[in-house]
Amino acid sequence: MRYAREVGALHFLTSAKLNQGVEELFLELTRRMLQTALTNDQQRINSLTRGGSTTARNLQIVDDQEAPSSGKSSCCSS
């Protein structure tokens, strides 16, 4: 427990055999993952509203239409 405290880690006493602490561990880890996801989403939104951008949400639109033919043919055209 001292090491966990020193490095800022969580420490849970659990026993799957005795069914002790497992549910509490699962719920705490789930709560922390959801909180982290919410915080990350908020930071992304704040970045976008300040004019920033994120690479994960970029969208590039490409026009695939061919340019009109100029009447000239190339060596490979038939």
For residue 65, pLDDT beyond 80:
no
- Rounded Cα distance between 14 and 20, Å, is 5
For residue 54, pLDDT beyond 60:
no
Average pLDDT over residues 3-25: 93
Mean pLDDT of the chain: 81
Tokens of 60: 């590039």
72 phi and psi angles, rounded to 5 deg: -85, 145
For residue 78, pLDDT beyond 60:
no
The secondary structure element, H or E, covering residue 4 is: helix 2-7
Q: What is the pLDDT of residue 28?
A: 93
- Rounded Cα distance between 37 and 28, Å, is 14
Digit-coded pLDDT (tens) for 31-53: 999 999 999 988 888 887 776 55
